[in-house]
Structure 1
Amino acid sequence: MINKILIYLIIILIVGCNPDAYQLANRISVDPINGDLLHPSSPFIKAHMKDGKVYVLNSWEMINKYDGFGNVNYLIGEGTLLSVNREILEQEQFEIPLDSVVILETNELTNSGPATALTLVTGLSLIGSTLCAQNPKACFGSCPTFYVNDGQNNIIQAEGFSSSISPSLEATDIDMLYNASNSDEIFQVEMKNEAYETHVISYLDLLIFPKSNDERIFYEIDGTFWNTNEIIGPSSCSINNNDCLDKIIEMDDLEWFSVTDSFNLAKKEIIEIEFNNIENGDYGLILGARQSLLSTFIFYQALSYMGKNVGEWLAMTERGEIPHGEIFNILGGIEILIKNERGKWEKWNEMKEMGPIATDIHMIKLPHLINESKSIKLRLAKGNWRINYIALASLNEKLEPIVLKPSSIYYDSKYDEEAMNLLLDNKQKLVTLPGDVYTINYEIPSNELKYEYFLKSRGYYLEWIRDSWIEEENLTSLIKMNFTPKKTLKDLAPIYKEIEADMENIFWNSKYEK
């Protein structure tokens, strides 16, 4: 595997030094103020294939035709076919089945139906975005954001499939809508694309549970739903002898967070939590948290190291040819520590839900040892998490949700039949672009009952590559990030420390809106 990657790197270096190498030209510029997309007069598209070859087309279109077995989407155009070693194999008119492509890469944005779901936009210049220019690695980036009414306003209550950064990493995500309030026959979710990204959604279902006034339902990280009539708040919360109880006792606007270590971004810290009034029985730890922007910074830094070859790297990831994600495994999630029978603290479980936008609430079922110790510890990387809520819930029984499909979808206040059909068809996908906003409605069985609400989404997203990132191309650093991630987390510590204080402000004030 390593030899294969090294050979590939040599190819990149040779091509990168060749002035006649095939590269994308006429990079797209996007003005966040008016949302205009400037289309170059001579667009190019690269089709990265499953076998490692690449088509570079300078004139192309998408067609759909019958091949004897069914309808197939084809990319048709004139250009050049390059070998795995990036040697010219053919120069002619090509007809490429879209299902043999792993990633499309272009320097302009065009909504080309099924091709859009595979299209990586490179060379993006952010004109007029002062905050992003100040710190490009703090620009707002997300998977789809979901806004739901809390009884007063539509607020962000969930974000979908945050770690699914390419087609092969498509995943299902279940998010509790903790503050959702609804008394109508229609439950409404507003889905937004607020970043320079392509979002690809397979489905968006609403899961509901009828409940009593004093009952709540929580989602366990193993996929189980439990109901409870008793929630116990901590009696104490401390870290390094500093009290943190007021930050985590309620699900509100207060969050506990710390700053990263100056020399090692993987440096851990421990939060100590104690509970009173615990009787014998089954309990689950309720944990409401979101990531800081540390993981966002590292992800954007990796894309920067890839530079103009980001399409090649992403295609290799799709083909399973390179490792990925180990650096985030080292950063880790929030580990739950419990005292064992010998009184020694040991890891019981870990919450790894990624995403810096919405507080995600999960429940982790605890062993009966909690009945005796009445305490837990949380171990996490310094500055990597923002914790909003910690509590214990007595567990009653496992439940199965009522699954609701969308009953109607609106785009720009108009009913969107195409989007509706795409979300209801398991073989199709809804693709959204920056600034898109969809209002999705669900018919509730009875508005006389109270419900607990969860969103179940499946999909992936493709990050658009900024010009400022490409300028930082560094293949040596990229190799180190993949193969010596612990050292990389030490090397990046002082760089992140310089921008850490301003990350949240820049992030939240750089959302994309049409």
Structure 2
Amino acid sequence: MYKKIISALLLISFFNYLIGCYTVEKMSKEEVYNNTEKITEVVFPSGESVKFNKAGAKLVYVDGMISGRNEKGGKYQIPLEGIKELRIKTYPVKPDEVKPEEIKEVIAINSRSYVFDRNGAVFNEVNNSIKGKSREGKDLEIKLEGIDYVYVTEPDTISISGLIANYSVRVKQIVFFNNTVRNFDDSGGKYAEPKYVIKGMNTLNEQLQIDPEEILYINVEKMNYGNTCLATLGGIVLVGGIIVLIALATKESCPFIYSFDGEKYVFDAEPLGGATTKGLQREDYSCLENLKEVNGKYKLRITNEVAETQYINRMQLFTVDHPAGTEIIFNNDGEGFFVDNPASLIYATDENGNSLNKFLEKEDDVCWQNNMKDYLNLENFNTRQTLTFAFPKPESTDSAKLILDAGTTLWGSNMIKEMLMLYGNEVDNWYEKIDQKKIEYNHMMSFLQNEELYELKLYLKEKDGWNEKGIIQGGGPFITEKRIVELDVSNVEGDTLFLRVNPPVGFWSFDYMAVEYSNSNQPNISLCKMTSAIDYKSTDISEIINSENENYYLMPETGNYFDLEFEAPEISKGMARSVFAKTSGYYKIHLPKTDPPDYQFLYSLSMNPGKIVKYSVEKYKEWLNKNLTTK
């Protein structure tokens, strides 16, 4: 398999060299140990996140550290290198409580230590300071207003080797070779064995070290060029054999759309996820946030980046000019709506009462999703979670528009392939029945709707209880689109709108939710004229891709792509602009088709609610054991 991957990389690396492509992608906790890319952000299970500066962070191995919390509750993870002294008990006093000659050490408010020789210090009334000589014979003078506290009794200390030999000892204070100090809270700092940490400077230029086992996922940034031997024109494939395998093994989706921002192509959309045969073909609207007009033109690059054949029926580009400060969002049926001043969450919780607000209150790519590792060793677990959301509601309104950014997880995308492989060497016959909308189509749709793997039922709390009121459509997994779900809230009592979903474990990701109550008109949408459609063979494909017919442009191999160019209409004066791609088509995943179908297991999946989720966890465990190394 590695030979095939490397061959594919080499074949198309030259094109990467010509035009670099930029992506920001999520990686799970388990994948962090094989990551070689720049880490831009760490997200924790609580929804808290840490963003790093432009240099980013890296996974590094540290020989050992002192870990704990400071007096304000912040985390400390301090490497042993650079430590001058470990103090296990200290005796601080205020300088006005003792005689200057008794002072052995001063700790300044800037956390710097000044140690006097055995003669101690003297008080300088003129300068309102304490002065003396250091143990090295240097003159010391510290203003009283700059002193935090002093020591007249030397702190109790322990050597580094002594701390390593006795795990139960707790450190109160650390002195570094540059004579700065760090204090731990009452629990103290403890020795932590050598391990890997995520190390980098945050946006405040503070040095951080984060334990990968404490995170939910990371965001990594890639700028891909040919000489790094990356696949598919700057796509999602990562550096290194194992990481290439991760992306190729778990990503099952349709085309990647890259927008030209004037300098580079930026990964901007991922339509048609789940449309795995012609009978499931659909149209998707994708907001192209990075697309910029250059010399009166819009440029797109559409790529095939995984082992599948993609069938693109048509692609169009639309613009919507709208007042600044407003937004255009589509529903599942392709209808666009103005969004002006949506109401924010009051709260969001899971079935255990854990707050999800930090995940959902902002559009920041900090997404709620399951930590699959939590389920790996559980024989029995609830295959569904219950997420409840509350929003303020004006008493006079009868309608609302839920705005949400949600989609399929990376592993949920991979499960499409796992389920198709159960049909073995009969999968093509099954495709044909789905395309012809025979009874198998109805069985499949019923199974997917009942299990809510890729379409999630939305419930609204009304006078008579919780009632199903809409569908949340999956997408992604790398880029999801904000969507609107229209709601009739005329039967809702009170001034609070309650919504609920029951996502199956491991399949769903949520980034943002809000509610719009205004009744604005639908926006005017302008079609952009396509001026060029050229594929990777320099073939003009405009007649196929720019017309409504039964013709399809096929991309059968990883590395296939085509470029589109559109006229950019003049923007209306004083208005903002949003640009959307409309993509129609489907894809077929490349499957081995060697084993016989497992109809008995397929039947058991359909007859036992939640069994598909437990099967998914089993396959995830197999995948981890097979593809990821443990450091």
TM-score normalized with structure 1 length: 0.65
Which amino acid counterpart does residue 280 of structure 2 have in structure 1? Answer: L
Q: Specify the alignment match of 2:388 in structure 1.
A: 272
CA distance in 2, matches of 1:180, 1:484: 45
SS class of match (1:203): strand
SS class of match (2:609): helix
Q: Which has the larger radius of gyration?
A: 2
Q: Specify the alignment match of 1:372 in structure 2.
A: 495
Q: Specify the alignment match of 2:314 in structure 1.
A: 203
Alpha-carbon contact 1:208-1:402 (below 8 Å) kept: yes
CA distance in 2, matches of 1:242, 1:503: 33
**Match for residue 259 of structure 2 among 135, 140, 148:** 148
Alpha-carbon contact 2:310-2:587 (below 8 Å) kept: yes
Q: Deviations over 1:335-362 (max 9, x none)?
A: 32222134x2222212123442321211
Q: Specify the alignment match of 1:477 in structure 2.
A: 601
Alpha-carbon contact 2:269-2:286 (below 8 Å) kept: yes
Q: Specify the alignment match of 2:303 in structure 1.
A: 192
Which amino acid counterpart does residue 601 of structure 2 have in structure 1? Answer: S
Which amino acid counterpart does residue 176 of structure 1 have in structure 2? Answer: C
Q: How does 1:220-239 map to 2 (within 5 A)?
A: 220-239=331-350
| Residue 137 of structure 1: how far off its partner (Å) | 9.0
CA distance in 1, matches of 2:614, 2:354: 29
Q: How does 1:302-321 map to 2 (within 5 A)?
A: 302-319=419-436, 320=438
1:499 to 1:230, Cα distance in 2 relative to 1, 3 A:
farther
Which amino acid counterpart does residue 358 of structure 1 have in structure 2? Answer: I
Which amino acid counterpart does residue 461 of structure 2 have in structure 1? Answer: K
CA distance in 2, matches of 1:169, 1:193: 19
1:129 to 1:382, Cα distance in 2 relative to 1, 3 A:
same
Structure 2 residue 395 is matched with structure 1 residue 285:
no
Which amino acid counterpart does residue 278 of structure 2 have in structure 1? Answer: P
CA distance in 1, matches of 2:317, 2:482: 16
1:154 to 1:233, Cα distance in 2 relative to 1, 3 A:
farther
Q: Specify the alignment match of 1:432 in structure 2.
A: 555
Q: How does 1:44-55 map to 2 (within 5 A)?
A: none
Which amino acid counterpart does residue 363 of structure 2 have in structure 1? Answer: M
Q: Deviations over 1:442-477 (max 9, x none)?
A: 2121146532222211111111113xx745853432
Which amino acid counterpart does residue 217 of structure 1 have in structure 2? Answer: I
Structure 2 residue 279 is matched with structure 1 residue 168:
yes
Q: Specify the alignment match of 1:353 in structure 2.
A: 474
Q: Deviations over 1:107-152 (max 9, x none)?
A: xxxxxxxxxxxxxxxxxxxxx9954997799433211111235788
| Residue 30 of structure 1: how far off its partner (Å) | 7.2
Structure 2 residue 464 is matched with structure 1 residue 329:
no
CA distance in 2, matches of 1:310, 1:337: 35
**Match for residue 354 of structure 2 among 242, 263, 266:** 242
| Residue 312 of structure 1: how far off its partner (Å) | 3.3
CA distance in 2, matches of 1:438, 1:139: 24
1:440 to 1:267, Cα distance in 2 relative to 1, 3 A:
same
SS class of match (1:250): coil
Alpha-carbon contact 1:289-1:389 (below 8 Å) kept: yes
SS class of match (1:308): helix
| Residue 288 of structure 1: how far off its partner (Å) | 0.3
Which amino acid counterpart does residue 567 of structure 2 have in structure 1? Answer: E
Alpha-carbon contact 1:263-1:494 (below 8 Å) kept: no
| Residue 189 of structure 1: how far off its partner (Å) | 2.1
Q: Deviations over 1:257-285 (max 9, x none)?
A: 12466567983222222234857444311
1:338 to 1:441, Cα distance in 2 relative to 1, 3 A:
same
Alpha-carbon contact 2:342-2:514 (below 8 Å) kept: yes
Larger relative CO (CA 8 A, sep 6+): 1 or 2? 1
Structure 2 residue 250 is matched with structure 1 residue 139:
yes
Which amino acid counterpart does residue 439 of structure 1 have in structure 2? Answer: D
SS class of match (1:495): helix
1:347 to 1:500, Cα distance in 2 relative to 1, 3 A:
farther
**Match for residue 363 of structure 1 among 484, 487, 508:** 484
Q: Deviations over 1:222-250 (max 9, x none)?
A: 44221122122213222222121111222
Q: Specify the alignment match of 1:86 in structure 2.
A: none
Q: Which runs of 5+ in 2 are unaligned?
A: 12-238
Which amino acid counterpart does residue 545 of structure 2 have in structure 1? Answer: L
Alpha-carbon contact 2:273-2:475 (below 8 Å) kept: yes
Which amino acid counterpart does residue 425 of structure 2 have in structure 1? Answer: K
| Residue 329 of structure 1: how far off its partner (Å) | 1.9
| Residue 308 of structure 1: how far off its partner (Å) | 3.0
Q: Which runs of 5+ in 1 are unaligned?
A: 1-27, 39-127, 507-514
Q: Deviations over 1:375-416 (max 9, x none)?
A: 32233223221111111223312234222342212434x864
SS class of match (2:359): helix
Structure 2 residue 570 is matched with structure 1 residue 460:
no
Aligned residue pairs, count: 383
Alpha-carbon contact 1:237-1:273 (below 8 Å) kept: yes
1:255 to 1:501, Cα distance in 2 relative to 1, 3 A:
farther
CA distance in 1, matches of 2:595, 2:402: 45
**Match for residue 392 of structure 1 among 515, 539, 558:** 515
Alpha-carbon contact 1:212-1:450 (below 8 Å) kept: yes
Alpha carbon RMSD of aligned pairs, Å?
Answer: 3.7
| Residue 331 of structure 1: how far off its partner (Å) | 2.2
Alpha-carbon contact 1:235-1:275 (below 8 Å) kept: yes
Percent identical among aligned pairs is 16
SS class of match (1:365): strand
CA distance in 1, matches of 2:260, 2:344: 26
CA distance in 1, matches of 2:287, 2:360: 18
TM-score normalized with structure 2 length: 0.54
Q: Deviations over 1:183-231 (max 9, x none)?
A: 4422222211001111111101112211111111111234422112212
